[in-house]
Amino acid sequence: MSLDGAEFPCTVRDRVTNLLCYEPVGEVMGMDGRPRTATEVRARKGGPPLVMVTAYDAPSARTVDAAGADIILVGDSVAMVVLGYDDTLEVTIDDMARHVAAVHRAKPGALIVGDLPWLSYHGSHDRTLDNVARLVRAGAGAVKLEGGAKRLDTVRAILDAEVPVMGHLGLTPQSLHALGGFKVQGQELNAAKILVDDARALVDAGVFALVLECVPDAVARTITDEVSVPTIGIGAGRHVDGQVLVWHDLLGFSGADRPQPRFVRQYAQLEKVATTALGRFCADVRAGTYPSSKETYHLADRVLAAFAAETDTSVSSV
Ligand code: KIV
Flag the least confident range among 62-66, 158-162, 211-215, 253-257. Answer: 253-257
If one looks up domain 34-250 in CATH, what number appears? 3.20.20.60
The pLDDT of 249-266, averaged and rounded, is 90
Calculate Rg over the CA atoms of the chain: 24
- Separation of CA 294 from chain center: 39
Residue closest by Cα to atom 1 of ligand 1: 75
CB-side neighbour CA atoms (13 Å) of 42: 16
Contacts of 251 (CB under 8 A, 6+ apart): 266, 267, 268, 270
The SS3 call for residue 272 is helix
- Give the mutation target among 165, 232, 234, 248 for probing the ligand 1 site: most ligand atoms within 8 A of CB: 234
Residue closest by Cα to atom 8 of ligand 1: 75
Q: What's the confidence (pLDDT) of residue 257?
A: 74
Atom of ligand 1 nearest to the CA of 144: 8
Contacts of 128 (CB under 8 A, 6+ apart): 116, 120, 121, 154, 157, 158
- Give the mutation target among 213, 240, 251, 264 for probing the ligand 1 site: most ligand atoms within 8 A of CB: 213
pLDDT at residue 55 is higher than 90? yes
Ranges of each domain in the chain: 1-31, 34-250, 274-311
The SS3 call for residue 74 is strand
- Separation of CA 2 from chain center: 32
- Give the mutation target among 57, 72, 77 for probing the ligand 1 site: most ligand atoms within 8 A of CB: 77
Q: What's the confidence (pLDDT) of residue 314?
A: 78
Residue closest by Cα to atom 5 of ligand 1: 75
The pLDDT of 148-164, averaged and rounded, is 98
Q: What's the confidence (pLDDT) of residue 70?
A: 97
- Smallest CA-to-CA distance from 122 within 153, 98, 168 is with 153
Active site residues: 213
d(CA 142, ligand 1 centre) in Å: 14
Helix, strand and coil in the chain, % to nearest 5: 45, 10, 45
- Name residues contacting ligand 1 (CB within 6 A): 54, 73, 75-77, 115, 168, 211, 213, 234, 244, 246
d(CA 313, ligand 1 centre) in Å: 60
Atom of ligand 1 nearest to the CA of 77: 1
pLDDT at residue 81 is higher than 50? yes
d(CA 246, ligand 1 centre) in Å: 7
Q: What's the confidence (pLDDT) of residue 31?
A: 59
Instruction: List, in sequence order, the alpha helices (H) in the chain.
Output: 12-17, 25-29, 38-42, 58-67, 78-81, 93-105, 125-138, 152-160, 176-179, 189-205, 217-226, 247-250, 270-287, 301-311
d(CA 77, ligand 1 centre) in Å: 6
CB-side neighbour CA atoms (13 Å) of 238: 0
pLDDT at residue 143 is higher than 80? yes
The pLDDT of 205-217, averaged and rounded, is 98
d(CA 190, ligand 1 centre) in Å: 25
Q: What's the confidence (pLDDT) of residue 259?
A: 84
With vertex at residue 243, the alpha carbon angle to CA 208 and CA 85, rounded to the nearest 5 degrees, is 95
Atom of ligand 1 nearest to the CA of 245: 6
Q: What's the confidence (pLDDT) of residue 313?
A: 83
Q: Are 216 and 187 in contact, with CB atoms under 8 Å apart?
A: yes
Dist CA 277 CA 297 (whole Å): 24
Atom of ligand 1 nearest to the CA of 88: 1
The SS3 call for residue 112 is strand
Residue closest by Cα to atom 4 of ligand 1: 75
**Which carries the bigger pLDDT value, residue 28 or residue 63?**
63
- Smallest CA-to-CA distance from 173 within 107, 253, 77 is with 77
End-to-end Cα spacing for the chain: 52
Taking only the tens place, the pLDDT of each residue in 31-46 is: 578 988 999 999 999 9
Q: What's the confidence (pLDDT) of residue 30?
A: 44
